[in-house]
Amino acid sequence: MKRKRPLILIVNLTMFIFTVASFVNPYNTIVKGNTKTYLEMKHDKLYEKIQMYRDEHKVEPIDATVDKIWKAIPGYNGLDVNIKASYNKMKKDGKFDETKIVVKEISPNVHLGDLPPNPIYRGNPKKPMVALLINVAWGNEYISPILNVLKNSKVKATFFFDGSWVKKNPDIAMKIYQEGHEIGNHAYSHPDLQRRSKSDTIKELVKTNNIVKETIGVKLKWFAPPSGSFNQVTIQVADQLNMKTILWTVDTVDWKKPQTTEMVNRIVKNVDNGSMVLMHPTKPVAEGLDAMITGIKAKGYQLGTVSDLMSEKRIDKDKY
């Protein structure tokens, strides 16, 4: 009897291990009351069809990169089929159904934050989205009509505030923020930063960050150099202050008071995936913004903030 005990213990232990494994194994799938292992599932015709669909529709993610012309460009998520989740949704009927495919996004290996300090002129060229940049240092009389157009169009823009303007117009600054628009840094006194020292640049950016924080309680992460004037020191200072430097892809040149229709047509014609459109609170923009938004949407682009555009997240249009 004593000799049989080790054997009985071994048999019981083996049965226990197999029982536990059947629950722990993440690839076990219950199909019509039976346990189907992952290996068995792989030879199932339904599984094979899902696998084929996945092979045909998988989209690889795009890493963030530094382009020779466009400088820093954000990455863009890829798409893949969650085979197991898709299988579980279809297994009851036992047939392939494209509407039950479960899709997941795949993150790039290199992100915008991984890149060395560089200016950003556009979003990812595969992302069908456009961002409106509105630099504010003057033009109060046109801000209300611009906000009305944005509200009626259900579009959020990114407003870059001059710090001295915020100090003089805290109520307007708060109104823009409360209407859901993103806020960025446009330095304090609209300086030519290409000609300023590092210490002067730090003062300009920090002063604006502080006045915006005090006025509307927002910590800024995007910086737009006044008049697009900057050098590498400017970029590095912004980076040290945890802000990325934003330029533009397409310029309204609204400060030159162009004919409104001509400005709108030029912008709509030139926007593309990832474009950022520069403008100011001017009469041409107030008059033409609605047509501009309509034209951009008609080309199939969504409109979002700089943060939306820089995000690696895909938008609804890309789903298959």
The string of pLDDT tens digits covering residues 46-68 is 999 999 999 999 999 999 999 99
Residue 320 has pLDDT above 80, yes or no: no
Residue 314 has pLDDT above 80, yes or no: yes
Q: What is the mean pLDDT of residues 270-291?
A: 98
**Among 24-33, 107-116, 215-224, 296-305, which is the least confidently predicted range?**
24-33
The whole-number pLDDT of residue 44 equals 84
The whole-number pLDDT of residue 33 equals 43
Structural domains in the chain, sorted by start: 37-110 (no CATH), 129-311 (3.20.20.370)
Residue count (the chain): 320
The whole-number pLDDT of residue 315 equals 87
Give the type of residue at 160: F
Give the type of residue at 155: V
Q: In this predicted model, what pLDDT tens digit does every residue of 297-309 receive, in sequence order?
A: 999 999 999 999 9
Residue 196 has pLDDT above 70, yes or no: yes
Label residue 274 by pLDDT band (50, 70, 90). very high
Residue 35 has pLDDT above 60, yes or no: no
The whole-number pLDDT of residue 175 equals 98
- Exposed, middle or buried by CB within 10 Å (0-12, 13-18, 19+), for 145? middle
- The packing angle between helices 143-153 and 170-178, to 10°, is 10
Label residue 24 by pLDDT band (50, 70, 90). very low
The whole-number pLDDT of residue 5 equals 59
Q: What is the mean pLDDT of residues 184-200?
A: 97
Residue 168 CA to residue 161 CA, distance in Å, equals 12
Residue 221 has pLDDT above 60, yes or no: yes
The whole-number pLDDT of residue 43 equals 56
The whole-number pLDDT of residue 15 equals 56
Q: In this predicted model, what pLDDT tens digit does every residue of 134-177 receive, in sequence order?
A: 999 999 999 999 999 999 999 999 999 999 999 999 999 999 99
Mode of pairing for the β-strands spanning 71-73 and 222-223: unpaired
Label residue 20 by pLDDT band (50, 70, 90). very low
Residue 118 CA to residue 121 CA, distance in Å, equals 10
The whole-number pLDDT of residue 316 equals 66
Label residue 40 by pLDDT band (50, 70, 90). low
Secondary structure in 3-state letters for the chain: CCCHHHHHHHHHHHHHHHHHHHHHCCCCEEECCEEECHHHHHCCHHHHHHHHHHHHHCECCECCEEECCCEEECCECEEEECHHHHHHHHCCCCCCCHHHCCEEEECCCCCHHHCCCCCECCCCCCCCEEEEEEEECCCHHHHHHHHHHHHHHCCCCEEEECHHHHHHCHHHHHHHHHCCCEEEECCCCCCCHHHCCHHHHHHHHHHHHHHHHHHHCCCCCEECCHHHCCCHHHHHHHHHCCCEEECCCEECCHHHCCCHHHHHHHHHHHCCCCCEEEECCCHHHHHHHHHHHHHHHHCCCEEECHHHHHCCCCCHHHCC
Q: Which of 295, 315, 309 is nearest to 121 (CA)?
A: 309
Q: Which of 64, 97, 62, 89 is nearest to 78 (CA)?
A: 62
Residue 131 has pLDDT above 90, yes or no: yes
